[in-house]
Chains A and B, each alone.
Chain A
């Protein structure tokens, strides 16, 4: 790219298209923010549990089938899972709360029965480790990018072949097609 277009990047001049883009983006983000507030930000998929059946499935889906690895009680074909579903149903009919029913199974089987481990004690580390690791990686990357950018700014201009635009855009494309594409960019899209 030419020197002039690189300079223009420092002053942002908004055309009508640019303004429209910005307005649309703000509108979109506003809609999403509204939806986020409405749904409470939780990635919940089930609506208000109405029927007994749906409440049973919602509870059973939080429990791991003890004999068939990798499947929840809700949709396992095993005999045990079917019995557990019946137990949940009976307890719901007796008016027990969701928490009490889950606690009942935890007391019998241990927390291994929970598909989502609790976030306390040792298992808190399950949640903390990836979050901390990813956070650290992001910080490291940004720090490194800034350092690389700084080094490059300092050595800009004296870099021998590095700044040559020969390698510049998409060197996988036919050069003539590339030329035409950029011509189109200028003529038709601008």
Chain B
């Protein structure tokens, strides 16, 4: 097979057509900033600089998918709370400073944000226009329903309310769901539903925090509803980043509508074989090397683990893209990312 360009590779995998080699899907935000000499903060505060940092880094390291804009604390700022941009030596992403909801009375003033003006959404829209201009996949990235609800009141409060005041938890989840659907709708109107790949990150639904029973009650129904409403808009592919150890949730993730194919990226805690078994018939599987390995591992170990990951992932029937299980640490040695590209070239060929 002829060597494809990155754009050709991405298009082929979404269309269910053969690719020449396994594509590299990025989770490389702060690293990109450091790589080109920008402050990490600009990845989240400046659409143009964020796009430039990522696209230059991707060109350097052979990353196939396009640049992305998003962060896990999404929702706090948009609903009227405060976040802090990463400026300290040891900060790599925006963090919560003040949640919109501290007590039950705070629900009275809580309304759906204006999807054109709230929080980071103007920056995200500017970023998506750059994606469109450069003909890379257009995304809108938000926290998943449950994580977004947690970002409104703190994960600790949401956890407590789930048991003691479930009505409040459901109110937050309803707000999160309506906001997600409205925001995706706005992006779909702007760029065309068939061009858009919404992305949802769901770290708070990990089994390190909640039980599978709690996932079934407080996460799954909202994921299913959101997926159905987004599909009705004409969106063809939805990406879910299934963060952390969600092994016990896996069978339920298979029930979530996510397009045809959907895309599922997994934390390093989930074996790729299991991911393929559960969602491989409906989604492109993405993942899932441990980013700590790239940060501190020895080159030989990195190359071998990449090879193993790629060999497993290649078996995914709807396609596979290599990625790290969670965001690459900004301090990761560049050489280690080069080893990833080397492994993809060496072991990622799909035509033998």
Instruction: Tell me, yes or no, whether A binds B.
Output: no
Q: Footprint of A on B, CB under 8 Å?
A: none
Q: Footprint of B on A, CB under 8 Å?
A: none
